[in-house]
Amino acid sequence: MRPTDMSAKIQANYEMAKEAYSAAGVDVDKAVETLGDYRISMHCWQGDDVMGFDHDGPLTGGIQTTGDYPGRARTPDELMSDLDKAYSLIGGRHRLNLHASYAIFKNGFHDRDALEPSDFSAWVDYAKDRDLGLDFNPTYFSHEKARQYTMSDPDPAIRDFWVEHSKACVRIARYFTESLDSHCLLNVWIPDGAKDIPADRLGPRERFAESMDRMLAEPHDRDKVYVSIESKVFGIGMESYTVGSAEFGLCYAASRGILPLMDNGHYHPTESVADKISSALLIFDKIALHVTRPVRWDSDHVVRYDDETREIAKEIVTCGRDRILLGTDWFDASINRVAAWVVGMRNFQKALLSALLTPREEHKRLQDEGRYTELFMKQEELKTLPFGAVWDMFCERSGVPTRDAWYNEVVAYERDVLSKRDAT
């Protein structure tokens, strides 16, 4: 189809969709417009299988990428170029989420405890040019001093190293907020834990809390640098005990006035992060999310447009965009990595759109009036309204390719850029 014919078709389909949705009590134009306001912090680490630039060793910390699809980004320039390609295929304006291991050293190597803001000036330039906000994460894995424990290690020298790293990251986050006129989410996730039943559960948690307190003492403006703590239920090699458990994360964050970060791969598979958001927001002013797809375990598959993601999106839309910091977290090395970003981000956006296309007030009223049969029926009928036509219009209005047209660009990029990488 010629592009003009395609646009006319999208317009015509959209008009039909508008009719169908307005009969269900939904303002479609408003939904499309509002979706553009949701900024998602896209994780840099899908592009290079969580390798980073500050070490040669393997990925550790109980997380894993699997697959050997060619074309992994090996340098900052390659990663930036791949990120650009991905952003160009995703509607709306977003953010970039960096890990400390992605330092770009201009004045010689600095170990994690001695990282400087200048080690991230290339990223600030990158973000400035593209009007992206930056978020940040200390990296407590893939390092010789990250053995079984980091911030909770019994050895004070190891703990000091990681506390110094954490403080350096606070300074870097501060530098981001000062350079970019935007907040920075600084998220702490430690891989500390035990493979087998621990003798002492309390000690490591006491030490982790103390190390966190030392990190938080590093001066920062709490209205700009939002420190969060990401909890977890288990990891590979720490199946029996995780220092930063859900209870630790929530209680610590509540008591210190920082944010909890919930990753939907970090709970028992029958638990739902969608169900946790409203409870957390009764207590916390803001919370943060890592949206991912756990398949039987915390596998970090690329997000699909599935029930779990849609239910999380429904809560985001209901509970308020301004109070929930949205981030993504998956790493699949078995498919084209640029496509992995694009599919997952577009799916998350589709889920948000589907929430925006829900007559929430009406559904809430049906619930409150005990009209459960009607509510059930309406929820199910809504699913087959012409959603795709509205999604197409969002892409069209955002200036990104509609439907699967973006894939041709990824194929061309793979041919011209990614496939050349393995030859060198």
- Interface residues with ligand RNT (CB under 6 A) are 45, 50, 63, 137, 189, 230, 232, 263, 290, 298, 329
**111 annotated active-site:** no
Q: Cα torsion at 329, 332, 333, 338 (round to 10°)?
A: -70
- Judged by CB under 5 A, the residue of 43, 85, 290, 301 near Zn ion is 290
Q: Does 298 bind Zn ion (CB under 5 A)?
A: no
Q: Cα torsion at 131, 137, 141, 144 (round to 10°)?
A: 90
Contacted by 308, from Zn ion, ligand RNT, none: CB < 5 to 8 Å by type = none
- On whether the CB atoms of residues 293 and 265 are closer than 8 A, the answer is yes
Q: How far is the CB of 263 from ligand RNT (least distance, A)?
A: 5
Contacted by 63, from Zn ion, ligand RNT, none: CB < 5 to 8 Å by type = ligand RNT
- On whether the CB atoms of residues 308 and 277 are closer than 8 A, the answer is no
Q: How far is the CB of 45 from Zn ion (least distance, A)?
A: 10
Q: What is the full DSSP assignment across 227-284?
A: EEEE--S-BTTBSSEESS-HHHHHHHHHHHT-EEEEETTSS-TT--HHHHHHHHHHH-
Contacted by 336, from Zn ion, ligand RNT, none: CB < 5 to 8 Å by type = none
Question: Of these residues, 54, 300, 311, 414, which one is catalytic?
Answer: 300
- Judged by CB under 5 A, the residue of 82, 192, 298, 329 near Zn ion is 329
**363 annotated active-site:** no
**330 annotated active-site:** no
Place of tokens 């694009």: 342
Q: How far is the CB of 127 from ligand RNT (least distance, A)?
A: 19
**196 annotated active-site:** no
Q: Which of the ranges 118-126, 131-139, 256-264, 367-375 carries the binding residues for Zn ion, by CB under 5 A?
A: 256-264
**266 annotated active-site:** yes
Q: How far is the CB of 187 from Zn ion (least distance, A)?
A: 8
**297 annotated active-site:** no
Q: How far is the CB of 183 from Zn ion (least distance, A)?
A: 19
- Judged by CB under 5 A, the residue of 263, 315, 332, 396 near Zn ion is 263
Place of tokens 């350096």: 168
Which ranges of 57-155 does DSSP label H, i.e. alpha helix? 76-87, 121-130
**290 annotated active-site:** yes
CB atoms within 10 A of CB 361: 9
Q: Return the number of the residue (43 or 207) whose C-beta is nearest Zn ion.
A: 43
**Cβ-based neighbours of 332, under 8 Å, separated by 6 or more:** 46, 65, 67, 300, 301, 302, 340
Q: Return the number of the residue (232 or 301) whose C-beta is nearest ligand RNT.
A: 232
Q: Return the number of the residue (137 or 354) whose C-beta is nearest ligand RNT.
A: 137
DSSP H/E element including 419: helix 419-421
CB atoms within 10 A of CB 157: 8
Question: Of these residues, 218, 329, 392, 396, which one is catalytic?
Answer: 329
Smallest Cα–Cα separation from 79: which of 58, 104, 106, 111? 104
Q: Interior CA angle at 252 toward 220 and 113, to 5°?
A: 50
Catalytic residues: 189, 230, 232, 263, 266, 290, 298, 300, 329
Binding site for Zn ion (CB under 5 A): 263, 290, 329
